[in-house]
């Protein structure tokens, strides 16, 4: 409960994700039209492109939360997701035998990973973290067996499939745990129980069917596989980059502790076969992409707690019950929080750094003057443009990286860095207006635009600058500018 309370409290920071805005726009679009999203609404470069949005149900919940309580509705939604995730994780570690401070150490490290990185915002992938923890809990409950387990996990998979494409990870985790349980049963001399094998096969079949029970069907499954492979996003930096452990010492610490716990079970001959397979899965995920650090940390925390509980045994944990365990837990949580604050002084702002602002004034100007067509914008501002100027298809690019082709992403990055030939690309797309950063990060393109003279600035404030083509669609604004 302490872990869940801390997670929920740490989630009460201001909105910090640029993607929140296009998620809101998608949810509002579905609520108003009563239709599931099937195209790239909001983007003029991809408005007619077929699009599978795996988080369609989450977008609707997000839009409803915003309708009821505004931005506070979104903050409370995130707090609920965070608290639920770590409550399920803590209960899962207890179900695997951990007690007292053992329930908190590794899940606490996973918690801090979520709030010292960029990806605990209002995004559909947060639901995958919650449902991964719930799946691990359900698979660990000894009283949930046979057909009850099959039905419960199938329903969980159906819900997960409609909230986020990460349901494929859940299916892989189920396969690993089921396989590990049967191997353990065989190694202990019990052989393979036919009834258990049949029920496990039914569980996996139900989960596989659950992955398909979405408005997109098989098409959604193939789209999720392409997204996992990063076919459309290979050229985008930031969240798809490979993390360096020197920059993420908490993940390195978590990885090391779990590795030690796994080795301990091997030497004590108490290893569960699912544990090394899960360790390998989550370690590879976390080391392959920044985007997967948080969900990998949750899986690793579960594996590590399970391993230490198995290796040390119930005897060790008897001394951590009652008052001693409570005091140790509070001290441990306080220490972890201190580490997190020391590592990232913006912890309580959700990683939101000063200077990361939205172009509110510039978009107000665009709305007044109806500058909606053939706009070039920064990647991180696309979602805000979609939300503010809907139903116009106004964004050149936004956070839906799986919507855009690799060629378009390359063109965007080339223009962003003002590489030779940037003007040719703008001409090829017939760009009429450019909303750009008015800071250090936007200096290269801004300087080239001012030198070239083909675009003239018509609005400027501390955060953003708006250019229009001198002899283009917005000729009158260019002259007045």
Q: DSSP string of 457-481?
A: EEEE-SSEEEEEETTSTTHHHHHH-
Mean pLDDT value across the chain: 85
Does residue 49 fall inside a structural domain? no
Burial class (CB in 10 A: 0-12, 13-18, 19+), 429: middle
**Residue 453 included in any domain:** yes
On whether both 230 and 333 belong to a single domain, the answer is yes
pLDDT class for 374, splitting at 50, 70, 90? very high
Q: Could you tell me if 340 and 412 lie in one domain?
A: no
> Considering 325, 349, 373, which residue would you say is the last residue of a domain?
349
402 and 345 within one domain: no
Average pLDDT over residues 151-169: 95
pLDDT reported for residue 129 = 94
Range with the poorest average pLDDT among 32-36, 84-88, 321-325, 395-399 = 321-325
Residue 42 lies in a domain: no
- Any domain includes 12: no
pLDDT confidence tier of residue 376, bands split at 50, 70 and 90: very high
In this structure, are 379 and 291 located in the same domain?
A: no
Q: Tell me if 75 is assigned to some domain.
A: no
Closest Cα to residue 118, out of 350, 370, 362? Answer: 350
Share of the chain above pLDDT 70, in %: 86
Is 69 contained in some domain?
no
39 located within any domain? no
Q: Calculate mean pLDDT across residues 184-206.
A: 82
Do 157 and 194 fall within a single domain? yes
Which of the listed ranges 49-63, 114-128, 322-336 does the model predict with the highest average pLDDT?
Answer: 49-63
- Asked if 157 and 228 sit in the same domain, the reply is yes
pLDDT of 9 higher than 70: yes
Q: Which two tokens stand for residue 240?
A: 């798809």
Q: Which residue from 71, 78, 409, 115 is spatially nearest to 234, judged by alpha carbons?
A: 409
Q: For the segment 442-469, what is each residue's pLDDT rounded down to a tens digit?
A: 899 999 999 998 999 999 998 899 999 9
The answer to whether 58 and 164 have CB atoms below 8 angstroms apart is yes
Q: How high is the pLDDT of residue 339?
A: 66
CA distances 96 to 59, 89, 227, 305, 418, Å, are 34, 11, 33, 8, 55
- 117 shares its domain with 250: yes
Separation of CA 406 from chain center: 21
Q: Is the model's pLDDT at 81 over the cut of 50?
A: yes
Among 19, 41, 61, CA closest to 358? 19
243 in a structural domain: yes
Residue 317 parent element (H or E): helix 293-317
- What is the total count of domains within the chain? 2
Specify whether 145 is located in the same domain as 179: yes
Please compute, for residue 83, the number of CA atoms within 13 A of its CA located in the half-sphere on the CB side.
15
- The residue range of the domain holding 419 is 360-480
- The verdict on 265 and 141 lying in the same domain is yes
Domain's final residue, options 310, 327, 349: 349
pLDDT classification of 118: cutoffs 50, 70, 90:
very low
C-beta of residue 69 within 8 angstroms of C-beta of residue 282: no
Confidence check: pLDDT of 480 > 90: no
Indicate whether 286 and 383 sit together in one domain: no
- pLDDT on residue 353: 47
DSSP three-state, residue 435: strand
Q: How confident is the model at residue 481 (pLDDT cuts 50, 70, 90)?
A: low
Residues 241 and 170 in one domain: yes
Q: Which domain-ending residue is among 330, 349, 368?
A: 349
Instruction: Give the pLDDT band of residue 359 (cuts 50, 70, 90).
Output: very high
235 and 87 part of one domain: yes
Q: Is the pLDDT of residue 315 over 70?
A: no
CB neighbours of residue 366 within 10 Å = 23
């Amino acid at each position: 409960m302490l872990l869940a309370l801390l997670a929920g409290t740490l989630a009460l920071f201001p909105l910090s994700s640029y993607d929140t805005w296009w998620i809101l726009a998608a949810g509002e679009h579905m609520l108003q039209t009563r239709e599931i999203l099937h195209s790239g609404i909001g983007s003029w470069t991809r408005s007619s492109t077929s699009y599978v949005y795996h988080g369609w149900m989450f977008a609707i919940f997000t839009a409803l939360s915003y309708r009821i309580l505004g931005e506070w509705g979104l903050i409370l939604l995130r707090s609920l997701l965070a608290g639920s995730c770590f409550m399920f994780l803590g209960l899962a570690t207890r179900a695997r035998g951990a007690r007292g401070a053992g329930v908190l150490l590794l899940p606490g490290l996973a918690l801090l990973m979520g709030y010292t990185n960029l990806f605990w915002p209002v995004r559909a992938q947060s639901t995958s973290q919650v449902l991964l923890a719930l799946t691990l809990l359900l698979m660990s409950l000894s009283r949930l067996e046979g057909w009850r387990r099959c039905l419960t996990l199938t329903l969980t998979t159906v819900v997960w499939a409609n909230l986020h494409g990460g349901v494929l990870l859940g299916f892989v985790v189920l396969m690993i745990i089921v396989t590990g349980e049967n191997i353990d049963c065989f190694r202990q001399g019990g052989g393979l129980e036919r009834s258990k094998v049949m029920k496990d096969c039914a569980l996996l079949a139900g989960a596989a069917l659950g992955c398909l029970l979405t408005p997109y069907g098989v098409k959604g499954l193939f789209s999720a596989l392409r997204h996992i492979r990063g076919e459309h996003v290979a050229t985008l930096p930031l969240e798809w980059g490979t993390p360096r452990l020197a920059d993420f010492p908490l993940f390195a610490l978590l990885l090391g502790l779990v590795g030690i716990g796994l080795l301990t079970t091997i030497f004590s001959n108490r290893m569960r076969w699912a544990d090394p397979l899960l360790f390998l899965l989550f370690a590879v995920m976390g080391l392959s992409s920044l985007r997967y650090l948080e969900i990998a940390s949750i899986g690793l925390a579960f594996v590590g707690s399970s391993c230490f509980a198995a290796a040390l045994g119930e005897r060790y944990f008897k001394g951590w019950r009652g008052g001693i365990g409570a005091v140790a837990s509070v001290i441990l949580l306080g220490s972890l929080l201190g580490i997190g604050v020391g590592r990232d002084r913006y912890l309580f702002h959700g990683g939101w750094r000063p200077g990361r602002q939205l172009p509110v004034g510039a978009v107000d100007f665009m709305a007044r003057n109806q500058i909606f067509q053939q706009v070039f914008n920064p990647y991180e501002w696309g979602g805000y443009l979609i939300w503010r100027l809907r139903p116009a298809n106004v964004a050149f690019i936004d956070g839906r990286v799986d919507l855009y082709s690799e060629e378009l992403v390359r063109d965007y990055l080339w223009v962003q860095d003002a590489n030779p030939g940037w003007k040719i690309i703008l001409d090829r797309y017939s760009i009429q207006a450019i909303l750009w950063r008015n800071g250090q990060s936007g200096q290269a393109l801004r300087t080239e635009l001012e030198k070239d003279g083909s675009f003239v600035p018509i609005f400027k404030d501390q955060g953003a600058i708006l250019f229009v083509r001198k002899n283009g669609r917005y000729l009158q604004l260019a002259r007045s500018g």
